[in-house]
Amino acid sequence: MDRDNVADLIAFITVAQDRSFTRAAARLGVSQSALSHALSRLEKRLGVRLLTRSTRSVSPTDAGERLLATVEPNFREVDDALERVTEFRDKPAGIIRLSAGEHAINSVLWPRLSSFTRDYPDIRLEIIAENGFVDIVAQRYDAGVRLGEQLAKDMIAARIGPDWRMAVVGSPQYLKGGRCRRPPMS
Q: Band the pLDDT of 61: cuts 50, 70, 90.
A: very high
Considering the domain architecture, whether residues 144 and 76 belong to the same structural domain is answered as no
- The mean pLDDT of the chain is 86
Considering the domain architecture, whether residues 51 and 103 belong to the same structural domain is answered as no
Mean pLDDT of 59-88: 91
Considering the domain architecture, whether residues 127 and 72 belong to the same structural domain is answered as no
Considering the domain architecture, whether residues 98 and 176 belong to the same structural domain is answered as yes
**CATH (domain of 77):** 1.10.10.10
Q: Band the pLDDT of 136: cuts 50, 70, 90.
A: confident
Considering the domain architecture, whether residues 114 and 33 belong to the same structural domain is answered as no
Could you give the CA distance from residue 7 to residue 11 in angstroms, rounded to a whole number?
Answer: 6
Mean pLDDT of 60-80: 94
Domain boundary among the residues 87, 109, 143 is at 87
**CATH (domain of 141):** 3.40.190.10
Domain boundary among the residues 53, 87, 121 is at 87
pLDDT at 124: 92
| Residue 16: closest CA among 31, 5, 27 | 27
Position 8 pLDDT exceeds 70 = yes
Alpha-carbon dihedral 68, 73, 77, 79, rounded to 10 degrees = 40
- Over residues 103-113, the pLDDT tens digits come to 888 888 888 88
- Over residues 83-102, the pLDDT tens digits come to 888 877 778 888 999 999 88
Considering the domain architecture, whether residues 14 and 79 belong to the same structural domain is answered as yes
Q: Band the pLDDT of 150: cuts 50, 70, 90.
A: low
Position 164 pLDDT exceeds 80 = no
- The percent of residues above 70 in pLDDT, for the chain, comes to 92
Considering the domain architecture, whether residues 49 and 98 belong to the same structural domain is answered as no
Considering the domain architecture, whether residues 142 and 161 belong to the same structural domain is answered as yes
The model's pTM is 0.52
Considering the domain architecture, whether residues 22 and 99 belong to the same structural domain is answered as no
Number of domains in the chain: 2
Considering the domain architecture, whether residues 35 and 104 belong to the same structural domain is answered as no
Domain boundary among the residues 26, 52, 87 is at 87
- Over residues 15-44, the pLDDT tens digits come to 999 999 999 999 999 999 999 999 999 999
Which domain range does residue 163 map to?
Answer: 91-186
Mean pLDDT of 119-138: 87
Considering the domain architecture, whether residues 14 and 82 belong to the same structural domain is answered as yes
Considering the domain architecture, whether residues 12 and 79 belong to the same structural domain is answered as yes
